[in-house]
Amino acid sequence: MKLRVGVIGVGPMGMGHVKHYRALDDCELVAVVDRDPQRRAHAATLGGAQAFSDVAEILDRVDAVSIASPTTTHTAIALQCIEAGIHVLVEKPLAQTEAHARQIVDAAKAKGVVLQVGHIERFNPAFSAAKEVVNDPRYVIADRLSPYSFRSRDIGVVLDMMIHDLDIIFEFIEDEVESFEALGIPVLSPSEDMCDVRLRFKGGAIADVRASRVSMKRMRKFRLFQSDGYVSIDYGQRSISTFRMSEAVRSGKVDPLSVDPSTLADPFSYVFGEMLEVEEHSMESKDALKAELRSFLDACRGLHPPEVSGEEGLRAVRLADQIQVAVGEYLEREAKRAGIDLSK
């Protein structure tokens, strides 16, 4: 039997859900919900579904929903659907605060419905490939930069963009954050548009995380340094590169400290040939959103647990919440130092 699905919120992200649900043969898109009459009518036409203005109108019509509405509405909508016994996929971030995210997680557990969080990078083939070669990273650098998109203006860059990398870091470093330093600044929004964070884990690992939505270039890179080399993930290009100490260096045949660079015709090629073994892998093109939705539907059927559970979504929101508090405190300190009254 096909699952009856609905999409709540049909902005740019929600329209992606509409398109893929419409194409998947193991579900039937029956409803789209949006407050904007033109937007919901357009989505309904493209998706072959009925259009509704209120979530309450679809609760007895669907088995599962994607919630792609603004982050500030996630909690109320998710709780309404969960109470009706509907499986939910909530686009990241799960909620605006840790307390709200916990409400959603607890409600889903109590009701026995599937709760999946839309951390789409988990379905990026570059992430899957990196999981095979990363073992014990001690230092991580994550860069996620983008031009201003005029989207997600109800939240800052931490919940909008950085949260992707916070989730991925926890997948590679299975440890608790002991402390962190954070700074961020608003540029075009009331909340932070740029943010830099240094995370220190109890086991000694460190992660430097940077996000900006006012950059002139787009970058989604993730680098992990471990004892035998490092791994570079390019989410945008869907590729990974591994750099490891060569056998010649490991065996002592080549000593990096004794090499005289003046004797080398091409020092660059020598380093990345004789001293370091470099492997570059381009991943097969794969639609991450389609894979995410198919996985969600299979979880709804009980074939496996959700790929990104509610607890994992809560984990990312908890840290993001703490970072936002630290950024707010940083801005207050800087304003006080400059003699600026932020209350005005």
Is residue 162 within 8 A of residue 150, CB to CB? The reply is: no
Range of lowest pLDDT (63-67, 88-92, 180-184, 234-238)? 234-238
List the chain domain ranges: 3-118+288-307, 122-282
pLDDT single digits (tens) 39-57: 999 999 999 999 999 999 9
Is 80 exceeded by the pLDDT of residue 25? yes
Burial of 217: CB neighbours in 10 Å, binned 0-12, 13-18, 19+: exposed
pTM, two decimal places: 0.90
User: pLDDT higher for 227 or 81?
Assistant: 81
pLDDT band at 150 (very low <50, low <70, confident <90, very high): confident
Report the percentage of the chain scoring pLDDT > 70: 98
**Whole-angstrom distance, CA of residue 311 vs CA of residue 115:** 9
**Whole-angstrom distance, CA of residue 22 vs CA of residue 280:** 36
The greatest distance separating any two alpha carbons of the chain, rounded to the nearest whole angstrom, comes to 77
**pLDDT value, residue 332:** 81
What is the residue type of 82? I
Architecture per CATH, domain 122-282, reads as 2-Layer Sandwich (3.30)
What mean pLDDT comes out for the span 82-99?
97
Q: Which CATH superfamily is 3-118+288-307 part of?
A: NAD(P)-binding Rossmann-like Domain (3.40.50.720)
pLDDT band at 341 (very low <50, low <70, confident <90, very high): low
